[in-house]
């Protein structure tokens, strides 16, 4: 026997082979099909439920994607040869039940079993997002998911500018921007998405221009309007995640209440002089429900007791730090990876260069996210929160 024939015979003596029909039955019983073909092969078709990994990085990535070493794995290549070698490698990593698909994808397809032509990134997109594609937690499937995602940013100011810029760079396919203001020269110290040339331009239009120049893959939907109880649900309903970058309390309460009612994750941040805070409010999260903004602050403070940045100032870099952290939380939510800041508040002190974390408890008696049942409706705090004339 030639060396390769002898090696294949050895592998077949220790790696069980299954026909496509048997593999299909195993999948219905909870097994996982691992497609180890290369990307150009997979582009021509792959079984619908397959985990598409490629042979080159299999050993490096499989344990992150399949941590259960007792999971039944059926390994598939084009004709049933490479899958034997891949199956042996998986056995050496400690997987206890690994099988090889006899005849590979060619036989699977010829027997009329279901497969799909997977969506794939264009060559330009693969170049643009190449660093994401190297991460097993993202990969091509994750990048496609980002391109399908929709994120709404409330405010195109100090927090919204860096958040929008980096979400666009990351390839979030649709970004909604809500802001009724125009670019002022005093904004440029911290609102990095705007420029001197666009002073006097609506912030939504200015941000759209910057984003489209950075990444033409991204669709920008602008809302040059005041957010209020009459339009908040219509605007929010089209988006997967809401990013609260507001600098006024009436809007902050409105954003919170609408997110609670609609079950949307609310990535919240705020800045004050040299300090910032960040958390994620998502009472409707299926696995780890959190409280909402009203669990901490059931009602707004007295008029004039919560001054804005325009009254007390803010270190220009600080909103950039917090806005980037907001963008990070958004990506974690969209890709379902890591641990979002649910039930936790991250506090940043720029003068001490320190981060602290505080636990947030859900208030069972909260009128909005508690156990009372019915949504109590929206409240207009515009006059309540307004600072007195000076």
pLDDT at residue number 388: 36
Q: Is the dihedral of CA 41, 43, 48, 54 positive or negative?
A: positive
- Give me the helix-helix angle, 58-65 and 82-92, nearest 10°: 60
Q: What is the number of alpha carbons within 13 Å of residue 34 lying toward its C-beta?
A: 30
Please state, as a whole number, how many other Cβ atoms lie within 10 Å of the Cβ of residue 327. Answer: 25
Q: Which stretch of 199-208, 296-305, 366-375 has the lowest confidence by average pLDDT?
A: 296-305
Would you say residue 40 has pLDDT above 90? no
Would you say residue 24 has pLDDT above 60? yes
Question: Model's pTM, two decimal places?
Answer: 0.81
Which contacts (CB < 8 Å, 24+ apart) does range 208-214 have?
208/177, 210/165, 211/164, 211/165, 211/168, 211/175, 214/165, 214/168, 214/169
Radius of gyration of the chain (CA): 26
Look-up of token digits 């970004």: 175
pLDDT at residue number 390: 29
pLDDT at residue number 309: 61
pLDDT at residue number 137: 87
Question: Which of 25, 200, 146, 13 lies closest to 88 in space, CA to CA?
Answer: 13
pLDDT at residue number 85: 96
CA distance 344 to 92: 40
Q: What is the mean pLDDT of residues 13-34?
A: 95
Query: Using 50, 70 and 90 to split pLDDT, how confident is the model at 136?
Result: confident
Question: Which of 175, 246, 178, 267 lies closest to 214 in space, CA to CA?
Answer: 175
| Marked catalytic residue, from 292, 295, 309, 385 | 309
Would you say residue 386 has pLDDT above 60? no
CA distance 258 to 267: 13
Average pLDDT, the chain: 91
Structure tokens that stand for 353 in this block: 């260069």
Three-class DSSP category at 139: helix
Main-chain dihedrals φ then ψ at residue 267, nearest 5 degrees:
-90, 105
pLDDT at residue number 290: 86
Question: Which of 117, 132, 141, 149 lies closest to 51 in space, CA to CA?
Answer: 141
pLDDT at residue number 289: 78
CA distance 129 to 121: 9
309 is catalytic: yes
Would you say residue 234 has pLDDT above 50? yes
Would you say residue 331 has pLDDT above 50? yes
Q: What is the mean pLDDT of residues 265-294?
A: 92
Of the two residues 94 and 134, the one the predictor is more confident about is 94
Query: Using 50, 70 and 90 to split pLDDT, how confident is the model at 305?
Result: low
Reported as a single tens digit per residue, the pLDDT across 240-264 is 999 999 988 899 999 999 999 999 9
CA distance 56 to 134: 12
Question: Which of 228, 243, 233, 367 lies closest to 297 in space, CA to CA?
Answer: 367
Q: What is the mean pLDDT of residues 49-70?
A: 90
pLDDT at residue number 327: 98
Query: Using 50, 70 and 90 to split pLDDT, how confident is the model at 54?
Result: confident
pLDDT at residue number 308: 62
CA distance 269 to 249: 12
| CA dist list (Å): 348 to 42, 55, 274 | 45, 43, 8
pLDDT at residue number 248: 86
pLDDT at residue number 39: 84
pLDDT at residue number 118: 86
CA distance 187 to 202: 12
Would you say residue 15 has pLDDT above 90? yes
Task: List, in order of start, the domains of the chain with CATH numbers.
Answer: 3-110 (3.40.250.10), 149-373 (3.40.50.720)
Reported as a single tens digit per residue, the pLDDT across 150-185 is 999 999 999 999 999 999 999 999 999 999 999 999
Query: Using 50, 70 and 90 to split pLDDT, how confident is the model at 307?
Result: low
Would you say residue 288 has pLDDT above 80? no
Q: Transcribe 309-321 into DSSP letters.
A: HHHH-B-THHHHH
Reported as a single tens digit per residue, the pLDDT across 75-85 is 999 999 999 99
Q: What is the mean pLDDT of residues 279-307?
A: 84
Question: Which of 115, 132, 221, 241 lies closest to 176 in space, CA to CA?
Answer: 221
């Amino acid at each position: 026997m030639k060396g390769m024939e002898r090696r294949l015979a050895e592998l077949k003596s220790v790696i069980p082979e299954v026909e496509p029909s048997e593999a299909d039955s195993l999948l219905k019983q909870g097994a996982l099909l691992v497609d180890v073909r290369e990307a150009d092969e997979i582009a021509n078709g792959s079984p619908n439920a397959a985990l598409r990994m490629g042979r080159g990085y299999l050993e490096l990535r499989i344990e992150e994607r399949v941590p259960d070493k007792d999971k039944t794995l059926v390994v598939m290549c084009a004709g049933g040869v490479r899958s034997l070698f891949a199956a042996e490698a998986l056995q050496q990593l400690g997987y206890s039940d690994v099988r090889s698909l006899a005849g590979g994808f060619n036989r699977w397809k010829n027997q009329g079993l279901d497969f799909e032509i997977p969506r794939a990134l264009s060559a330009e997109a693969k170049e643009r997002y190449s660093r994401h594609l190297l991460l097993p937690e993202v990969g091509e499937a994750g990048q496609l998911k980002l391109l399908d995602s929709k994120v709404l940013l409330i405010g195109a100011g100090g927090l919204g500018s860096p958040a929008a810029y980096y979400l666009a760079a990351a390839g979030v396919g649709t970004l909604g921007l809500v802001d009724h203001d125009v670019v002022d020269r005093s904004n440029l110290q911290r609102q990095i998405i705007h420029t001197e040339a666009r002073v006097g331009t609506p912030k939504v239009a200015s941000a759209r221009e910057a984003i489209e120049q950075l990444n033409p893959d991204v669709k920008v939907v602008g809302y040059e309007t005041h957010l209020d109880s009459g339009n908040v649900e219509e605007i929010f309903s089209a988006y997967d995640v809401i990013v609260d970058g507001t600098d006024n309390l009436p809007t902050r309460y409105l954003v919170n209440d609408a997110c609670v009612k609609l079950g949307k994750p609310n990535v919240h941040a705020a800045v004050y002089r040299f300090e910032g805070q960040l958390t994620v409010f998502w009472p409707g999260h299926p696995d780890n429900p959190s409280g909402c903004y009203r669990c901490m602050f059931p009602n707004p403070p007295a008029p004039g007791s919560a001054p804005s940045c325009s009254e007390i100032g803010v270190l220009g870099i600080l909103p950039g730090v917090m806005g980037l952290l907001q963008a990070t939380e958004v990506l974690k939510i969209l890709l379902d990876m890591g641990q979002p800041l649910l039930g936790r508040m991250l506090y940043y002190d720029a003068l001490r260069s320190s981060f602290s974390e505080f636990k947030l408890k859900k208030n069972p008696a909260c009128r909005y996210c508690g156990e009372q049942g019915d949504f109590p409706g929206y409240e207009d705090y515009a006059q309540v929160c307004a600072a007195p004339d000076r």
